[in-house]
């Protein structure tokens, strides 16, 4: 009985806190910044062209799922997102018997977003750490997974940056 009352009190306190501070999810804030129709262009490092479809598909998924936007051709778009993937480099973190067992992947991306409010640019370097298995085939698959996780983290970071910018008053954005 007492635990049930405590749960209700905690729930009510959290709800009051969120509504009292005018909390809005990033999907609502970012909708004020860009329109429903979005064009996405992805330019990738020539050394890793296999990541272009992943980046473009992931960005389409994010625009559709999080912001209920529609991907359209460039001439029909009211907002445009340009992503330049500049490559990934790896740095070993630990060794065992002369072999790398853990590494860190650094992924470099540049974002440019054209919206009804203007232009937003952001360079992002994301970091992803992972272990390496003994098999060469597994290591190759893990390399691709590390690149994709880094790209995903970079896109999430960009969207967080954009939603934070959209939440600021216009005077604060111009400084």
Q: pLDDT tens for residues 90-139?
A: 899 998 888 888 889 998 999 998 887 789 899 999 999 988 776 655 66
For the chain, the domains span 24-170
d(CA 24, CA 18): 9
- The answer to whether 46 and 85 are in contact (CB under 8 A) is no
The predicted pLDDT at position 138 comes to 66
Write down the pTM of the prediction.
Answer: 0.71
Whether the CB-CB separation of 143 and 103 falls below 8 Å is answered with no
Provide the 10 A C-beta neighbour count for residue 31: 18
Regarding the domain delimited by 24-170, which CATH topology (the fold level of the hierarchy) does it fall under?
Double Stranded RNA Binding Domain (3.30.160)
Alpha carbon of residue 165 to chain centroid: 15
Query: What is the length of the chain?
Result: 175
What is the pLDDT, as a whole number, of residue 21? 58
Give per-residue pLDDT as tens, 10-47. 888 877 676 665 555 655 556 666 667 888 888 887 77
């Amino acid at each position: 009985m007492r635990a049930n009352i405590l749960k209700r009190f905690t729930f009510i306190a959290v709800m009051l806190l969120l509504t009292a501070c005018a909390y809005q999810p990033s999907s609502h804030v970012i909708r004020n910044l860009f329109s429903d129709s979005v064009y996405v262009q992805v330019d990738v490092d020539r050394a890793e062209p296999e990541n272009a479809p992943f980046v473009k598909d992931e960005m389409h998924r994010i625009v559709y799922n999080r912001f209920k936007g529609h991907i359209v051709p460039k001439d029909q778009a009211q907002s445009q997102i340009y992503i330049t993937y500049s490559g990934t480099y790896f740095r070993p973190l630990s060794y065992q018997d002369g072999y790398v067992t853990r590494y860190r992947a650094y992924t470099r991306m540049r974002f440019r977003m054209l919206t009804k409010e203007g232009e937003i640019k952001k360079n992002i370097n994301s970091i992803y750490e992972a272990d390496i298995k003994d098999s060469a085939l597994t290591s190759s698959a893990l390399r691709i997974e590390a690149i994709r996780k880094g790209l995903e983290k970079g896109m999430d970071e960009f969207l967080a940056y954009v939603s934070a910018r959209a939440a600021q008053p216009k005077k604060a954005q111009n400084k």
